């Protein structure tokens, strides 16, 4: 199989579906600002998984290299990260996403309330997106899957640094480094709670 074909004929639509979803989230934010004068998030990023990483993932999971595996069995060909100011905002975005008519939440993992053992925190959603707009062809029931990760700025900085360093330490000191990283994650989580409390106090005085 030609490795360029992991997404088959659908590859060319992925950037547009990503843009579509990002625009919808931007609109949700504008609506919230008008309604409550409070933004939903600090920033938003999106990516389409490169063909090479998708091939690597399919091989790792023992899936055949075709568009069914890359777009239906794997559900993170399109990834969007919403980086929020406060913990509450993560849940505001999750609740709003559940009310949207252009997508359905089909899976969620709350690593914010239940952090991973290494200290990783983030809220993960898999949404299925209706793509019945002109010029888009979709693999299954007219839908694409998108992974949405929601985090605070503090959670995001920890995840970036941990990701950066994951590949750089050797097995000898891995345990010690893991403990230190966990401690940093917990300190940042405690700051997030304090920041949230400060905002609440400010609101009570409004």
Q: Which residues bind Mg ion (CB under 5 A)?
A: 76
Return left, alpha or beta for 181; rule: phi > 0 is left, psi -120 to 50 is alpha, else beta.
Answer: alpha
Across-strand partners of 146? 78, 127
Query: 118 contacts which partner out of Mg ion, ligand GTP, none, CB within 5 to 8 A by kind?
Result: ligand GTP
Q: How many residues does the chain have?
A: 206
Using CB under 6 A as the binding rule, the residues of this chain from 18 to 47 that contact ligand GTP are none
Query: 39 contacts which partner out of ligand GTP, Mg ion, none, CB within 5 to 8 A by kind?
Result: none
Quick check: 179 binds ligand GTP (CB under 6 A)? no
CA distances from 111 to 30, 135, 202 (A): 27, 37, 27
Sequence-separated (6 or more) residues with CB below 8 Å from residue 12: none
Question: How would you classify the pairing of strands 78-84 and 143-152?
Answer: parallel
Q: Which is nearer to ligand GTP, 40 or 155 (CB)?
A: 155
Q: Which is nearer to ligand GTP, 32 or 121 (CB)?
A: 121
Stretch that binds ligand GTP, among 7-15, 64-72, 135-143, 159-167 (CB under 6 A): 159-167
Quick check: 98 binds ligand GTP (CB under 6 A)? no
Rounded Cα distance between 83 and 121, Å, is: 12
Q: How many residues bind ligand GTP (CB under 6 A)?
A: 9
Stretch that binds ligand GTP, among 4-12, 16-24, 28-36, 116-124 (CB under 6 A): 116-124
164 phi/psi in degrees, rounded to 5: -60, -40
């Amino acid at each position: 199989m030609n490795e360029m074909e992991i997404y088959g004929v659908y590859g060319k639509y992925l950037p547009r579906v990503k843009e579509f979803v990002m625009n919808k989230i931007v609109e949700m934010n504008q609506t919230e600002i008008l309604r409550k004068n409070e933004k939903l998030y600090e920033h938003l990023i999106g990516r389409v998984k490169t063909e090479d990483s998708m091939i690597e993932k399919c091989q790792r999971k023992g899936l055949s290299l075709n568009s069914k595996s890359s777009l239906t069995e794997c559900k993170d060909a399109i990834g969007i990260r919403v980086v929020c100011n406060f913990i509450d905002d993560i849940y505001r975005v999750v609740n709003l996403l559940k009310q949207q008519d252009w997508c359905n939440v089909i899976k969620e993992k709350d690593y914010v309330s239940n952090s991973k053992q290494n200290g990783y925190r983030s809220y993960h959603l898999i949404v299925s997106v209706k793509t019945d707009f002109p010029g888009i062809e979709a693999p299954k029931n007219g839908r694409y899957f998108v992974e949405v990760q929601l985090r605070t700025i503090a959670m995001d900085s920890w995840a970036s640094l941990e990701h950066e360093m994951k590949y750089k330490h050797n097995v000898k000191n891995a345990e010690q480094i893991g403990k230190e990283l966990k401690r940093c994650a917990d300190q940042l989580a405690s700051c997030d709670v304090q920041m949230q409390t400060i905002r609440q106090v400010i609101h009570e005085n409004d």
